[in-house]
């Protein structure tokens, strides 16, 4: 009987360890299979430091858990009730143990506190050297990115050069939002009437997906954005295209007549009242800036790929795609929709 009970305890303990290992393995597989938004796959110095700090606390927590569960299992097996066995000696206190389990947590807290404080100074002070500045304004439910040094204002896709520090100034035009690109840096709130600051850096080219991480209304889950990290040469070329667009629209199209009709329809339908296109009379600031729209990879704040079909569906009925957004259904005729799509996609 004794051996049977001991065997059951060992089996249960083995099962518990197996479940924990399976959970850790599942978390690792998930991280590897979903690189779009994963703090476990850092692509820059800020995210890497934050992951190191997180893993330090995880390892300490695992050690504490293993020790406590191990002692608990030993106590269960060793001091379990058995026929004919007297009640174990009752202990009312042990000064040595009390000192130990007071000092050990203090040491563990200090081990976590030192790199935490060092990390706070690290994320609060951008490294010296060449950098760019981006002013981030959160709206319900899209993101505006302004590059004050270049005169660029774009939306929902922030292009940055790899290897350079990007200093972000963040605010909100309405309610509290939270800017989060898990692969590059931790969260930072954007508050109306106030500026917060942070910095990030991408070590390798790629598309890093971001998300509003503060509940901000009905379309909160669809307030997405992308950070597109390019080589410095590619970033400079993008800036150069913007400089051209500030003088006159950059239009590339195989159907110039349809594009011309789209430009007229864009103005006739009063799209200019909400949207801006550099080099034209469209100066709206209510909605996203559409300059060089054809170079963007997404639309509707990251919800859809930027294809002619998706753009037409958005213009046709934006509320059906993203309920609660600020763009109403305008009942644009189908021929005008196709022309506007051709025009916007020609802006490259």
Total domain count for the chain?
Answer: 3
Residues 103 and 150 placed together within one structural domain of the fold: no
What's residue 282's pLDDT?
Answer: 86
Nearest one of 190, 192, 141, 140 to 168, comparing CA atoms: 190
Averaged confidence pLDDT in the chain: 87
Tell me the CATH number at 301.
2.60.40.420
**Mean pLDDT confidence for 201-214:** 95
Average pLDDT over residues 251-280: 84
Domain match, 144 and 58 both: no
Nearest to 314 by CA among 288, 286, 276: 288
Within-domain flag for 328: yes
Q: Cα(185)–Cα(206) distance, rounded to whole angstroms? A: 15
Which strand (E) or helix (H) includes residue 123?
A: helix 95-124
Do 300 and 221 fall into the same domain?
no
- The per-residue pLDDT for 244 is 84
- From the list 271, 265, 315, 318, the residue with the least C-alpha distance to 290 is 271
Q: Half-sphere exposure of 78 toward its Cβ, with a 13 Å CA cutoff? A: 7
Across residues 163-188, what is the average pLDDT?
95
Q: Distance between CA 291 and CA 343 in Å, rounded?
A: 11
Q: What is the mean pLDDT of residues 228-253?
A: 84
Q: Give the domain CATH number at 54.
A: 1.10.287.90
- Rounded to two decimals, the pTM is 0.81
- Cα separation of 249 and 59, whole Å? 55
Choose the weakest-confidence range: 210-214, 243-247, 296-300. Answer: 243-247
The pLDDT assigned to 35 comes to 47
53 belongs to a structural domain: yes
Residue 237 lies in a domain: no
pLDDT for residue 280: 87
Whether residues 120 and 142 fall in one domain: no
In the chain, what is the straight-line distance between the N-terminal and C-terminal CA atoms, in Å? 80
Average pLDDT over residues 29-40: 64
Q: Mean pLDDT throughout 51-71? A: 93
Average pLDDT over residues 277-285: 88
pLDDT in tens, 118-130: 999 999 889 988 8
Looking at the predicted structure, is the pLDDT value of residue 318 above 70? yes
Query: Quick one: which of 154, 138, 148, 171 has its CA closest to 297?
Result: 154
27 with 116, same domain?
Answer: yes
Portion of the chain with pLDDT greater than 90, in percent: 57
Per-residue pLDDT band for 208 (boundaries 50, 70, 90) equals very high
Are both 120 and 135 inside the same structural domain?
Answer: no
Q: In this structure, are 77 and 110 located in the same domain? A: yes
164 and 267 part of one domain: no
Distance of alpha carbon 275 from alpha carbon 284, whole angstroms: 4
Look at 348 and 237; give whichever has higher pLDDT: 237
Instruction: Answer yes or no: is 308 within a domain.
Output: yes
Q: Give φ, ψ of 140 to 5 degrees.
A: -85, 105
112 and 201 co-located in one domain:
no
Q: Which helix (H) or strand (E) holds 82?
A: none
Provide the domain limits for residue 76: 2-82+95-124
On whether both 109 and 141 belong to a single domain, the answer is: no
CA dist 301 and 248 (Å) reads 26
**Do 254 and 318 share a domain, yes or no?**
yes
Q: Which long-range contacts (CB under 8 A, 24 or more apart) does 91-97 make?
A: none
C-alpha to C-alpha distance for 207 and 230, rounded to whole angstroms: 9
> Contact 190/148 with Cβ under 8 angstroms?
no
């Amino acid at each position: 009987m004794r051996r049977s009970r001991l065997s059951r305890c060992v089996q249960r303990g083995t099962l518990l360890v197996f479940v924990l290992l399976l959970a850790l393995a599942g978390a690792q597989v998930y991280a590897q299979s979903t690189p779009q938004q994963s703090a476990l796959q850092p692509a820059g110095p800020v995210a890497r430091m934050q992951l190191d700090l997180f893993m330090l606390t995880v390892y300490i927590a695992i050690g504490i858990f293993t020790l406590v569960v191990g002692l608990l299992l030993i106590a269960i097996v060793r001091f379990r009730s058995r026929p004919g066995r007297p009640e174990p000696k009752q202990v009312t206190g042990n000064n040595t143990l009390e000192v130990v389990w007071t000092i050990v947590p203090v040491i563990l807290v200090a081990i976590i506190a030192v790199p935490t404080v060092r990390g706070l100074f690290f994320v609060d002070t951008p490294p010296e050297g060449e950098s760019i500045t981006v002013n981030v304004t959160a709206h319900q439910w899209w993101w505006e990115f302004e590059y004050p040094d270049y005169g660029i204002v774009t939306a929902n896709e922030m292009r940055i050069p790899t290897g350079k520090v990007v200093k972000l100034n963040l605010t909100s035009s309405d309610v509290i939002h939270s800017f989060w690109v898990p692969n590059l840096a931790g969260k930072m709130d954007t508050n109306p009437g106030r500026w917060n600051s942070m910095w990030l850096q991408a070590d390798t080219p790629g598309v890093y997906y971001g998300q509003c991480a503060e509940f901000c209304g009905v379309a909160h889950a669809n307030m997405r954005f992308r950070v597109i990290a390019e080589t410095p040469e590619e970033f400079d070329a993008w800036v150069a295209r913007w400089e051209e667009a500030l003088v006159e629209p950059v239009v590339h199209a195989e159907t110039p007549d349809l594009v011309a009709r789209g430009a007229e329809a864009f103005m006739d339908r009063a799209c200019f009242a909400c949207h801006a296109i550099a080099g034209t009379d469209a100066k709206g600031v209510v909605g996203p800036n559409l300059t060089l729209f054809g170079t963007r990879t997404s639309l509707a704040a990251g919800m859809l790929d930027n294809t002619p079909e998706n753009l037409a569906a958005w213009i046709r009925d934006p509320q059906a795609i993203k309920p609660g957004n600020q763009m109403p259904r305008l009942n644009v005729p189908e021929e005008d929709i196709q022309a506007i799509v051709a025009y916007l996609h020609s802006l490259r």
